[in-house]
Amino acid sequence: MSKTHIEISEVGPRDGLQSITPIMSTADKKAWIAAEAAAGVREIEVGSFVPARILPQLADTAELVAFARTIPGLTVAVLVPNFKGAAAAVEAGAHKITIPLSVSETHSLRNVNRTHAQMLEETARIAELIMGRPEAERPKFEGGLSTAFGCTLEGAIPDATLLRLAEGLMAAGCDEVGLSDTTGYANPAQVKRLIRLVRGAVGEAAVTGVHLHNTRGLGLANVLAALDEGIVTVDASLGGIGGCPFAPGASGNIVTEDLAFMLEAMGYETGVDLEALIAVRQQVQAALPAVELYGFTPESGLPLGFAQGQGWGASV
């Protein structure tokens, strides 16, 4: 039985809420963040610094960062599409900043209206901004390789393009790169292959996290493949809310509740209290009554005799 710690990074307040029509109130978002942190989730992506006219659902991100920073032990993460967003994130005090670089240039133009070259230039400017801060105030800077496993707009992504952009992000000043299955195209064999491929180009320590979707029912299978390759941070969304509004058909984030149960049942350490996490789901559903939530574990409940920290089914 493994006792490796796996970090569950909750992305629902950003990736989830940006993809639905209802706008959750700031008070409800704060309650969600506080409750999930209390349930043991130690990293939460609370929003994105994008213009409110584009994503009004995330207009209160600066206020949410300020609030989340008051929660002891919580890593406050945000997404930024450009230098302006990064400057706002740094000023707000985010602990972790991710810039999405779509390996599909068509998706990049649709998502952030920039080419690959322009995004790498923005990345270098952001890295310079971060390095100009006192060391204790520098957020971790991740380059997110979006559509790494395939794109609804371009189809298959050439390995050479993926490697060029991974190397470009690290050369521009990112601390690490993450592989993102924005469109839900990935399969377990591909997950293993691309993690090995990208690590071969930028180093093992630079690839520690993945963002996977469950669009075709392979989300958790892909997580297992990533764990086999030594990945230690996995993104998920409470209730499976979200996708990508700029990639047609990109629905279905991994359900945080199902991911946490699988990891705990396998004997991994997550620090998450499953019963408390399921209670957060009820809270979010009350705030978003018209939004469908997904997940098998909350519906079926925990197995009889299940005890966290002991795995499940290892011996009888």
Cα torsion angle, 153, 158, 160, 162, sign: positive
Q: Residue type for 13, please?
A: P
| Helices first, then strands: H and E counts in the chain | 11, 8
The continuous run of DSSP H or E covering 179 comes out as: strand 176-180
- Pairing between β-strand 7-10 and β-strand 209-211 as defined by DSSP bridges: unpaired
Q: Is 244 tagged catalytic?
A: yes
Largest CA distance in the chain: 57
The continuous run of DSSP H or E covering 286 comes out as: helix 274-287
How far apart CA 233 and CA 122 sit, in angstroms, is: 25
Q: Given the residues 244, 250, 263, 277, select the one marked as catalytic.
A: 244
Q: Count the residues in the chain.
A: 316
Tokens of 132: 């100009």
256: left (phi over 0), alpha (psi -120 to 50) or beta: alpha
Map tokens 């559903």 to a residue: 285
Please answer whether residues 78 and 91 qualify as being in contact, where contact means their C-beta atoms are separated by less than 8 angstroms: no
Please answer whether residues 40 and 72 qualify as being in contact, where contact means their C-beta atoms are separated by less than 8 angstroms: no
Q: How many CA atoms lie within 13 A of 63 on its CB side?
A: 9
Q: Residue type for 270, please?
A: T
DSSP state of 95: S
DSSP SS3 for 229? coil
How far apart CA 39 and CA 51 sit, in angstroms, is: 31
Tokens of 234: 């996995």
Q: Residue type for 1, please?
A: M
Instruction: List residues with catalytic annotation.
Output: 244
